[in-house]
Structure 1
Amino acid sequence: MPKVVKQRSSNVADAVTTSKASKSRLNCWIKRLRQPLLLAAAGAFSVLGFAPWSWWPTALLSMAVLAFCLHDSTPKQAFRQGYAFGLGLFAVGIAWVHISIDQFGGLPLPVSLTLMLLLAAYLSLYPALACWLSRKFPCGNPYLQILLFAACWVLGEFARGYLLTGFPWLALGYSQLDGLLSAWFPLSGVAGVSLVTTIVAGALALTVAQRQWPAAALALCTLGGSFSLSFIQFISPNGDPVDVALVQGNIEQSLRWQPDQEWPTMLKYLDLTRPHYEADLIIWPEAAVPAVEPMAQEYLDNLNYVATHNDTTVVSGIVDYNFDTRQFYNTLIVLGKQQKPLYEYRYHSANRYQKHHLLPIGEFVPFGELLRPIAPLFNLPMSSFSRGDYTQANLVANGYTIAPAICYEIAFPEQLRRSVNEQTDFLLTVSNDAWFGDSIGPQQHMEIARARAKELGRPLLRATNTGVTAAVDAYGEEIARLPMFSADVLRLPIQRMTGVTPFSQLGHWPVWLVIMLTFALVALVQLKDRKAAD
């Protein structure tokens, strides 16, 4: 009996020891996961700073949480921290991408969700590398460290906007469009706003981490000074307001490229436009005319005739197909009055715009010969476009000059900036966000368009198939919009402006200069420290 009791006691002791060890390992894993989960939650929380919520302090505070966690981190730890933050940001912020993959890509739900998560995982590499770089070159001065973190973050956003055709969505600066830091848009563009926002977030984090009260003063002075900048005006009204009509056809995405729906769609746009021929400018959305341009000449000639004799202009999206080169182009054409002396629309006339920055998968398929047979996702209608030139002349419509961008292109500020000059009257973007349903995607797209107006100091006209169709003034404020998923026309007077903003002249060069000077200062500090150590 004693041996049995002893054996049982030993088993109980072993079980207790095993339980304690398991509990210890569990606690260890909880501790390891606590910070990544916190940062992922902070990244997800920052999405509230973007449209449709636009609660600008949430993005600022989320960045402050990231900056606080980076304090005293090793480069390896910083990489993991930045990746966790990015995963929360993109998994929530671009979840709407799943709608187009699921509904129009022809893939099973698990596969479409996996693809969306893989995209978020890829995009998270950029904030991860930015955080890694900011801790790879630590310096003794905490304020220089803040500047280094901001420079690295913006460098990561630049890289994300250019590599693999670029995906600049959810750049931090957009979250401040309705906040105290928005005055930096006409000065330094969205990248400059990202830079200043990260500096403020870093100063707040330093205040909490090291009780550096001068850092709190730096944050408050930056916010207050940025608000004061809003009183500086670079532009002024020019002439009388222009009567503009923006047409929203609300054609279901599943019907847009059906051959038997070509004429019903084209007739619908004519019916919507007919009561508004007295407007100076009439704007139709991207590919509003579903027939390819060479095959729609009779329809276009009639529309051109009606617009000309009503003393107005119709700017419309259409697909052009060159039979000689066998190339498709996503195109904007001008019908009716164009400029004085008056001349009319002709096929292949120079007064047109061909989209340059194409959307991967949607408008061109990398390695198409390999991918197209795999799934319908890689063989969507109109997914074989060719690129137009990077810089193209402004459209001329009824004597007004228009700098255009088609759909996704509006997210690339430098490209649009190259097309804007002192004579530009309007910015124009046409789109079709029906791919993304009733999600936050179209709202984010609209927010990006507003930022271009504020950066370049020109009113922006936005015509879309299902919404958001809206007009924005030269200060980035939305004037009016149509309800989404409605067939309607938004008609209103738009005030033209004269003058140029610093961003329209210099672009992002001031931001690049700050980044280069920051790295130069860090290198000098580290060189000085090495010499002192020797």
Structure 2
Amino acid sequence: EWLRSWLLTGFPWLYLGNAHIDTWLSGWAPVTGVYGLSFIVAATAALMFQCLKKPFSQWRWGHYVAILLILSTWSAGLTLQSMNWSHAYGEPLQVTLVQPNISQHIKWRPEQQPITLKLLESTSAQHQDSDIIVWPENAIPLFAHQATRYLNRLNILGEESHTTFISGIPYWQPETRNNPRKLHNSVITFGDGTDSIYHKQKLVPFGEYVPFQHLLRGLIQFFDLPMSDFGPGPKNQQPLRIKKDGYSILIAPYICYEIVYPDFVRHLAKSSDFLLTISDDSWFGSSIGPHQHLEMARMRALENQRYLIRGTNTGITAIVDQSGRTLDQAEQFQQTSLTGQVRLMSGLTPFTRWGSTPILLLCLIFLIVSCSRRSRQ
């Protein structure tokens, strides 16, 4: 699973550990991360297999130790669920997540753009009592420099209502002497004067960029998808910074499937008050994909013990607490919005501090011991 997270750009989907977000093992997530849960599941299966290979009457002391180890590990997970590695501070924030439910087939058409912009603005105007209003990935179907007048109007709305807007938007970075031109999949803040920006780093192959595009583009129509020429953002980016009552609030932003990378998420989570992920899962249609995506986002909230808000185009839009529980979610494939409260969290879990390094070292030790035993045999 670890190799799959980075080999050939990585695709860390469907880990064994993700299936245990709602079981006793979830208590281990803030300690070991999702790889630790996968390790425990694999070890449990291996030990049980070794025990069941022989009739109970032929068991030796090692078989009893294996069963005891399984029971104690799972029981420890239940105990760890009550551990609070982080704590809430300050007043809760009221957030509204707008779910526009716009089909990919019409999203980028010029005639659809004013309809989309009006929908976002009118829906948001109904929630001016919220501290933060979130629009999904690439919600604004214009480049940032093309949407200046629109953003200025919303800046005024945000200043009047003391509301911060956060939205996904394509961002065009013109060519300079030191940097080539780039198109970024980005998220921006506006309305409170902070104007923070984050450029997506983990791009989806063939969806957002085409590997070896000088060879593949034009060869097959599939490789000419709209908006599939994005470039990755720099690696040293900081959390989004917004203002509330004179204080700065730091938000760790993740766009689309960036949220499924455990160690990538923890780096920004270290210095953030809560997590934000925006996505457009309409590509999945009515498949199980959006449900899996939400499940993995819940795991990130639990690993770092931070609240997480998830704004999407077609669903599943949700608010998740620091224990990975879904507090509320919007109905999928509906033009709607979701309003709830988010707590600011402080403190670091063992996983946030050290990441997957301890569990990977443990795996390495097991591999070395296993190989040495085989060589002796």
The TM-score with structure 2 as length reference comes to 0.93
Which residue does the alignment assign to 1:497?
Answer: 345
Higher strand share: 2
Asked if 1:519 corresponds to 2:367, the answer is: yes
The one-letter amino acid of 2:219's match is I
1:501 deviates by 0.3
Is 2:170 aligned against 1:284? Answer: no
**In the alignment, is the contact (CA less than 8 A) between 1:304 and 1:344 conserved in 2?**
no
Q: Alignment partner of 2:263: what SS?
A: helix
1:4-34, Cα deviation, whole Å (9 max, x unpaired): xxxxxxxxxxxxxxxxxxxxxxxxxxxxxxx
Greater displacement, 381-390 / 232-241: 232-241
The reply on whether 1:450 has 2:294 as its aligned counterpart is no
Residue 397 (structure 1) shift? 1.8
- Cα distance in 1 between the residues matched to 2:294 and 2:194: 32
Question: 2:194 touches 2:242 (CA, 8 Å); kept in 1?
Answer: no
Amino acid at match of 1:367: F
Contact 1:244 1:491 in 2 (8 A): yes
Given the alignment, which residue of 453, 456, 474 partners 2:322? 474
C-alpha contact (below 8 Å) 1:390/1:415 kept by paired residues = no
Aligned to 2:114: 263
1:273 to 124, 135, 142: 124
Instruction: State the Cα distance separating 1:502 from its structure 2 match.
Output: 0.3
Alpha carbons 1:315, 1:397 under 8 Å: kept: no
The Cα of 1:525 is off from its aligned counterpart by: 3.8
**2:260 aligned partner:** 411
Matched, 1:170 2:18: no
Paired residue secondary structure (1:458): coil
Aligned identity (percent) is 38
1:182 aligns with 2:182: no
Select 1:321's aligned residue among 166, 172, 180: 172
Deviation at 1:226, TM superposition (A): 1.9
**AA partner of residue 442 (structure 1):** P
2:312 is aligned, of 460, 464, 474, to 464
Tell me the alpha carbon deviations over residues 476-507 of structure 1, each in whole angstroms, 9 at most, x when there is no partner. Answer: 00000000011111111112222110000000
Q: Which residue of 2 aligns with 1:296?
A: 147
Spell out the pairing of 1:171-250 with structure 2 (5 A cutoff): 171-211=15-55, 212=59, 213-214=63-64, 215-250=66-101
User: Structure 2 matches for 1:392-403, cutoff 5 A?
Assistant: 392-398=237-243, 399-403=248-252
Q: Is the counterpart of residue 438 in structure 1 residue 286 in structure 2?
A: yes
Instruction: Give the C-alpha shift of residue 304 in structure 1.
Output: 1.3
**Conserved 8 A contact 1:332-1:354:** yes
Q: Relative to total residues, which structure has the larger helix share, 1 or 2? A: 1
**2:218 and 2:342 mapped to 1: Cα distance?**
48
Q: Matched residues in 2 for 1:470 and 1:206: separation?
A: 42
Task: Decide which moves more: 240-249 or 370-379.
Answer: 370-379
1:216 counterpart SS class: helix
Range with bigger deviation, 200-209 or 442-451? 200-209
For the pair shown, the structure with the greater C-alpha radius of gyration is 1
Instruction: Give the 3-state SS of the residue equivalent to 1:495 in structure 2.
Output: strand
RMSD, aligned CA: 1.5
* 1:491 aligned counterpart, secondary structure: strand
1:336 aligns with 2:188: no
Out of 381, 385, 394, the position equivalent to 2:230 is 385
Structure 2 residue matching 1:390: 3-state secondary structure: coil
Greater relative contact order structure (CA < 8 Å, 6+ sep) = 2
